[in-house]
Structure 1
Amino acid sequence: MEKLEEALSNKGLTVSSLPQKGRCLFTTRDFSPGEVIISEEPYVSVPNKSAKCEWCFTSTNLKKCSACHLVHYCGNTCQKSDWKLHRVECKVLSKVEKERIKSITPSIRLMVKLYLRRKLQHEKFSCNAHTICDAELKPLGTGLYPVVSIINHSCLPNSVLIFEGRMAVVRAMQHIPKGTEVSISYIEMAGSTVTRQKALKEQYLFSCTCIRCVKLGQNDDIQESAVLEGYRCKDKRCSGFLLRDSGNKGFTCQLCGLFRDKEEIKNIVNEIQSLSEKASFSLSYGHKKDASVMYKMIEKLQLKLYHQFSINLMCTRENLLKILMELQDWKEALKYCRFTIPVYQRVYPECHPLLGLQYYTSGKLEWWLGETEEAYRSLAKAAEILQITHGTNTTFMKELFVKLEEARAELSYKISSKEADDY
């Protein structure tokens, strides 16, 4: 503990305890937006799929461990880096019958590696597992980070956890004054207070008391929940939200008073559910065009039922965006990307990585479609957010800056050419 305190002190941090929270990480100096608060390599980690390098999580040039036939490496460097622990694990795995090897899940392997490393180094501590993601927040694996695990959750966090390879990097998303508790979000932030609290209770066994959650049940919170997860007024000209009436026969618009029958809503919901199952089935068999047609039918039904900022509608449009990009229908994909951005702006903080990545996707699509001015604006917004959440030195960010500079240069050329023609 003394070594930990000394190491944290050098970084402008300290560990304190708070009632009902336990250990917390506090700042002992100011941190600026984008500044690294702490970075940490995993104590143990495993990829989420067997067809990934055990050490760096890449999926190219892989070779199986000749003894256990479960673990892969992309080369000698990664194998040597992991060998001290894996040679012990390998002795265990090599004794398992080949047909049973396939049933060993990443979570089981993580626990095995944790046990073996503690046994080798005689260390004891408690920590939570974190999903290791790439720069675009796509899951790669799972790791245990003892120091990062001290950081508590908030639904309005002042910091963000991003991974650079396997390294966990926590950066400030805003100015953090000296003496402030460092917080990150453990869960998906796009949801009502009730939904967030339910997720935290089920996954982490606690209730959040952040400044967003203490508003639970207040008028603003009820309205926000109804917009994000409830139903819209039947009158398309009205922007009101619905609440269940006292007789439980339907819902009443809180703006214009128009009643909406419960059976009508139930029928639309059932139709959406049926189409969603068919769309998922089509996707599972690789029928992407069929799935896109069904998701557009779902979208049409949802527009009758939900607000434009509905989380359900947003998820449908995210699915369509992903499918359309895989189908290389860039124009249609851009349309759906643009649909999602206003919702992202509402449900995420202004410096959230998901918002930055959505601007990045929009910028790439606009660039491919020759919409240079729009591409430059989108990429500039992406860079403004992501240089805070992701830093500036990673390969991903360097590629973003190159794209931004190319868009700026082409836009400047187009403007100067137009001015010359006008002259």
Structure 2
Amino acid sequence: MEDLQKLLLHDHGLSVSTLPEKGRCLFTTREYSPGEIILSEEPYVSVPNKTPVKSRCDWCFTSSNVKRCSSCQVVWYCGSKCQTSDWKVHRLECQLLAKLEKNRIKSLTPSIRLMVKLYLRRKLQNEKCDRQLQSGERFSISYPCVYGVLPSIYMYCDAKFQWFLLLNLTHFHKDISEVEEMQLVLYAQMASLVNIILQWSTLNIKEIAQNFSKLACNAHTICDSELIPLGTGLYPVISIINHSCSPNSVLVFEGRIATVRAMQTIPKGSEVLISYIETAGSTMTRQKALKDQYFFICSCPRCIKLGEHDDIEESAILEGYRCKNHTCNGFLLRDLESKGFKCQQCGIVREKEEIVKIASEEKTISNKASVALSSCHNKEALDMYLMVEKLQMKLCHPFSINLMRTRETLLKILMELQDWKKALTYCRLTIPVYERVYPKFHPLRGLQYYTCGKLEWLLGYTDEAIKSLTQAVDVLRITHGTNTSFMKDLIAKLEEAQAEASYKLSSMDD
């Protein structure tokens, strides 16, 4: 920990501390402004997602012009530059994958590949340690992760250092023995396949299984600028950052590089906090998600309000039922006397049997709609999701998360079908809910403004498009910065829309 503190972070506005109730934490040693980069890191190891639709480059994750590795026939690259960048590890992986039987290759999930690459990087580091040890000299490992932050690490060879970046820089919240039995079996099966692939006599299957459990807690989903998942990576330094349902920072990706930016002014001496989960939900929903995946109970400012009046009201609005009187926006709570649900604003009681009947019908149609959508039967799925929306409008509060998700799905289907006008209608319906459930500078909020602006401009609503795109830029310049190609395209769209509006105005004056 002292080496990490001195060599990596202390002189760059950050420090690592250990708290009894939280473990390792990342703190600021200076003030950070909204939008300022706190940390940028390349993955120690990474792999693209495995999809039946498209293959991705193993290095940059693009799906354009990719070709299969001629030797192993498993890994894909978009060109010689990415293949060369990945060659140090893939030259070892390639030999192993080329020997695998076809049925084994079908079982090769991204998680298994990530673990194989992790052990191969360990092997490379061991070999480098051994070579330097024989000469009696110090060795350096240049860990190319934090631009402007991480220098080369100079120290004498230490057998433990091979796991320094993985084991010492991760936080595992729950012992493997406490994980559910089915998960234990799965980890054991995955570890067995890793063992078959590597075929190293020194491997310990139990250790591999334990490392899978650590990856589950510490690996990050790599997304593009629009938060579409592309792959998975392990970022040891960023893994130190703890969770909050009210984070002061946001994690986004620029290609393979993970970047943490301040979403608000972060005073000197504050802990850097990001969100591990989707925060648009009730406290109980968030707590369950964190406990199931990360094995801890959150005690952030939002979560400590569990059971208080404001928290109960928010939960009832986001995940509860609407008042029977559609002119009333009150929230419902269970009424012990009537055994139904009573509106806390107008006092009308809604019978439990009525709610159960609508909820059951909605669930049945939702399941069918999901199957149709996954089978790419978009028109069929559209009709069914419209039925789901109609039932949810009877059942759910106008700010319901479930209703919002259904409308998001309808928006995506309508865009696939190129029904731009109806798509815009649904995009606009989601905006008030986004503004309620996400903080001002949240990437999802900014991206929804962006979608709305694109649709408005496409349909010729230039003034409305300028307003939406301006809102998008105001949010995303904080979360994404301004130097990425995505942000440059967004700013260019806004400037073009503004120029078009100015031209129309000048034409009217003439």
TM-score interval, smaller chain: over 0.9
User: Hey, what does 1:4 align to over in structure 2?
Assistant: 4
- Does the aligned pair in 2 maintain the 1:191–1:228 contact within 8 Å? yes
Equivalent residues, number: 420
2:471 is paired with a residue of what secondary structure? helix
Q: Which of 10-19 and 376-385 deviates more? A: 10-19
Which amino acid is 1:277 matched to?
A: N
Of the three residues 87, 92, 103, the one matched with 1:88 is 92
Hey, what's the Cα distance between the residues in 1 that align with 2:78 and 2:377? 32
Hey, what's the Cα distance between the residues in 2 that align with 1:363 and 1:67? 46
- Does the aligned pair in 2 maintain the 1:42–1:145 contact within 8 Å? yes
User: Hey, what does 2:157 align to over in structure 1?
Assistant: none
TM-score by length of 2: 0.81
Hey, what's the Cα distance between the residues in 2 that align with 1:417 and 1:250? 62
Hey, what's the Cα distance between the residues in 1 that align with 2:285 and 2:469? 32
Hey, what's the Cα distance between the residues in 2 that align with 1:159 and 1:360? 21
Hey, what's the Cα distance between the residues in 2 that align with 1:59 and 1:83? 19
1:250 aligns with 2:250: no
Hey, what's the Cα distance between the residues in 2 that align with 1:201 and 1:418? 60
Residues 43-80 of structure 1: CA deviation (Å, up to 9, x unaligned): 00000126111000011221212222111111111111
1:160 aligns with 2:161: no
Hey, what's the Cα distance between the residues in 2 that align with 1:337 and 1:63? 37
- Does the aligned pair in 1 maintain the 2:14–2:28 contact within 8 Å? yes
Which amino acid is 1:15 matched to?
A: V
1:208 aligns with 2:298: yes
- Does the aligned pair in 2 maintain the 1:31–1:37 contact within 8 Å? yes
RMSD: 1.2
Gap regions ≥5 residues in structure 2: 127-161, 171-217
Which amino acid is 1:48 matched to?
A: N
- Does the aligned pair in 2 maintain the 1:45–1:144 contact within 8 Å? yes
Which amino acid is 1:241 matched to?
A: F
Of the three residues 101, 109, 125, the one matched with 1:121 is 125
Hey, what's the Cα distance between the residues in 1 that align with 2:241 and 2:285? 22
Hey, what's the Cα distance between the residues in 1 that align with 2:83 and 2:506? 54
Hey, what's the Cα distance between the residues in 2 that align with 1:160 and 1:285? 34
2:298 is paired with a residue of what secondary structure? coil
User: Hey, what does 1:13 align to over in structure 2?
Assistant: 14
1:262 aligns with 2:352: yes
Of the three residues 44, 60, 63, the one matched with 2:64 is 60
User: Hey, what does 1:234 align to over in structure 2?
Assistant: 324
- Does the aligned pair in 2 maintain the 1:373–1:411 contact within 8 Å? yes
User: Hey, what does 1:306 align to over in structure 2?
Assistant: 396
Hey, what's the Cα distance between the residues in 2 that align with 1:49 and 1:398? 29
> How far off is 1:251 after superposition?
1.0
2:389 is paired with a residue of what secondary structure? helix
1:146 aligns with 2:146: no
Hey, what's the Cα distance between the residues in 2 that align with 1:68 and 1:151? 37
2:333 is paired with a residue of what secondary structure? strand
Hey, what's the Cα distance between the residues in 2 that align with 1:296 and 1:304? 13
User: Hey, what does 2:482 align to over in structure 1?
Assistant: 392
1:227 is paired with a residue of what secondary structure? helix
Hey, what's the Cα distance between the residues in 2 that align with 1:268 and 1:246? 21
Q: Determine what percentage of the aligned residue pairs are the same residue.
A: 69
User: Hey, what does 2:136 align to over in structure 1?
Assistant: none
User: Hey, what does 2:440 align to over in structure 1?
Assistant: 350
1:109 is paired with a residue of what secondary structure? helix
User: Hey, what does 1:107 align to over in structure 2?
Assistant: 111
Which amino acid is 2:408 matched to?
A: E
- Does the aligned pair in 1 maintain the 2:47–2:233 contact within 8 Å? yes
1:157 is paired with a residue of what secondary structure? coil
Q: Which of 293-302 and 277-286 deviates more? A: 277-286
TM-score by length of 1: 0.97
> How far off is 1:11 after superposition?
1.8
> How far off is 1:247 after superposition?
5.1
Check 1:3–1:80 CA distance in 2 against 1; reply closer, same or farther (3 A cut): farther
Residues 367-416 of structure 1: CA deviation (Å, up to 9, x unaligned): 00000000000000000000000000000000001000001111122223
Which amino acid is 1:66 matched to?
A: S
> How far off is 1:22 after superposition?
0.3
Of the three residues 327, 333, 348, the one matched with 2:423 is 333
Gap regions ≥5 residues in structure 1: none
Which amino acid is 1:4 matched to?
A: L
Hey, what's the Cα distance between the residues in 2 that align with 1:143 and 1:221? 35
Q: Which of 280-289 and 364-373 deviates more? A: 280-289
Hey, what's the Cα distance between the residues in 2 that align with 1:284 and 1:39? 36
Q: Which runs of 4+ in 1 moved over 6 A?
A: none
> How far off is 1:2 after superposition?
4.6
User: Hey, what does 2:185 align to over in structure 1?
Assistant: none
- Does the aligned pair in 1 maintain the 2:250–2:274 contact within 8 Å? yes
Hey, what's the Cα distance between the residues in 2 that align with 1:7 and 1:108? 30
Hey, what's the Cα distance between the residues in 2 that align with 1:323 and 1:363? 18
User: Hey, what does 1:319 align to over in structure 2?
Assistant: 409
- Does the aligned pair in 2 maintain the 1:11–1:38 contact within 8 Å? no
- Counterparts of 1:363-382 in structure 2, within 5 Å, are 363-382=453-472
> How far off is 1:3 after superposition?
4.7
2:412 is paired with a residue of what secondary structure? helix
User: Hey, what does 2:45 align to over in structure 1?
Assistant: 44
- Does the aligned pair in 1 maintain the 2:329–2:398 contact within 8 Å? no
Residues 321-367 of structure 1: CA deviation (Å, up to 9, x unaligned): 00000100000000000000110001011100000000000000000
